[in-house]
Amino acid sequence: MKHGILTDILDYSNRANPYPLYEELRKTPVFHDGDGPYVISTYFDIQSLLHDPRLSSDARNLAATAGDPLAESGEEGAAALPPSFLKLDPPEHDRLRRMTNRPFGPPHSPHRIDGMRDDLRGIVTGLIDNLGDPGRIDLVDQFSYPFPVTMICRLLGVPREDEARFHVWADTLAASLDPDPDSDPTERDKTTHDARMELGMYLAGLIEERRKDPKDDMLSQLAVAHGEDGSMSTMELLSTAALLLIAGHETTVNLITNGMLTLLRHPDVLRQLRETPGLAVPLVEELLRFEPPVQLLPQRTPLVDIEVRGVTIPKGSSMWLILASGNRDPHRFEDPDRFDPYRKDIQHLGLGSGIHSCFGAPLARLEAQLALSELARRLENPQLIEDPPPYRQNAVLRGPRHLYVTCDGIRS
């Protein structure tokens, strides 16, 4: 079992419920099968390593990828862009993250996220109004997918008339992270390449427009910023915009979809959320623990030999940190396989930790809180049509590809 456990985790047949595999994995807190990655699966070890400056997120420090089934795939490299700050180490990571945060959150833009509430509510309301036949709703295609990408368009400052084009590019790039095994890989690669090029050219043009005529949007503020960290080059700005689009979109889709799936499996909690919308705040935190949108971080490597639980992990080795396993560690959480939005101690790993903690966490939390509370309020007696639902192929960004729901009607 141990030798094949990573293969089992990546096997699509286990996508609907990988948690028994994580339980087995935690019996060997530092798992290594001889030629694959070093896999860390317990809460306190993961938390410590996420704060360890000896661990690198830069793939250039990886000695070799032999035996690693999730080796660096060069998603950003294919677009001829420099790595985003997600895949860099200090000091470059810190410089780019600081610059990106100035127009996004405190201390320089403390009201950015809260100021989006009305826009968020308007998008959610519009999407629910247009769900159509209550007898069969695909909450992914009709709600979870379009919601965050529309919000990212507004955040960046994409003109309303161009949002439809942006949606097409986002959908294509998202599909490249979760390819259909039955599709033609050559055609898929061409479609993905074309979408990257079109998106890159569009964003480059928009950046130039914003430099000449800044608006009250994040892209404008990044384009004209000249602070203590200098200014972003056009390539750095393109890379950052692409990161906000892909990372911000994919994780929020999974958070909302996993959230509705969990609520539909726990109708008592769904009823409580409908009656008490304020429950959405702790409920989203418990969801981030119970069904995190990012299951594991496969792109870490030690800059020097390090020791974890008496095991020496050599410099340059591939390391996986299984966040979803740490979130179900019984040494950290009481009764970890129980979904409990009233849980008192909820310091989960669902948004990472340390210098690479999720940049968009405040927005993702607010999006999920508003989305789930409104869905709970407006869908009358919702039921799953298919359980488990069909899942996406991707083991890292784990979530349903479709979530088919039926309900008695849609409240106004």
User: The whole model's pTM is what?
Assistant: 0.92
Number of structural domains (the chain) is 1
> Based on the number of CB atoms within 10 Å of its own CB, is 389 exposed (0-12), middle (13-18) or buried (19 or more)?
buried
* 213 vs 340: CA distance, rounded Å: 49
* 318 vs 352: CA distance, rounded Å: 18
Nearest to 124 by CA among 149, 143, 138, 140: 143
* 202 vs 211: CA distance, rounded Å: 14
Query: Tell me, what CATH number does 257's domain have?
Result: 1.10.630.10
CA torsion angle 405 406 408 411 (round to 10): 30
Mean pLDDT across the chain: 91
Q: Which of 114-118, 157-161, 257-261, 391-395 has the highest mean pLDDT?
A: 257-261
Q: What is the reported pLDDT for 178?
A: 67
* 232 vs 377: CA distance, rounded Å: 43
Asked whether residue 77 is assigned to any structural domain, the reply reads: no
Q: What is the reported pLDDT for 205?
A: 93
Asked whether residue 38 is assigned to any structural domain, the reply reads: yes
Per DSSP, 63 falls in state -
Asked whether residue 79 is assigned to any structural domain, the reply reads: no
Asked whether residue 362 is assigned to any structural domain, the reply reads: yes
Decide which of 376 and 203 is more confident: 376
Decide which of 56 and 167 is more confident: 56
Q: What is the reported pLDDT for 75?
A: 41
Say if residue 77's pLDDT is above 50. no
Q: Encoding tokens for residue 356?
A: 């690479």
Asked whether residue 73 is assigned to any structural domain, the reply reads: no
Q: Which of 28-37, 153-162, 207-216, 281-290 has the highest mean pLDDT?
A: 281-290
Asked whether residue 368 is assigned to any structural domain, the reply reads: yes
| Rounded mean pLDDT, 79-83 | 69
User: Domain range holding 248?
Assistant: 5-64+87-410
* 241 vs 219: CA distance, rounded Å: 8
Asked whether residue 260 is assigned to any structural domain, the reply reads: yes
Three-state DSSP class for residue 30: strand
Say if residue 2's pLDDT is above 60. no
Nearest to 352 by CA among 89, 52, 26, 50: 50
Report the 10 Å Cβ neighbour count for 247: 19
- Tokens 């039921």 correspond to 383
Asked whether residue 76 is assigned to any structural domain, the reply reads: no
Model confidence pLDDT, tens digit, residues 356-370: 999 999 999 999 999
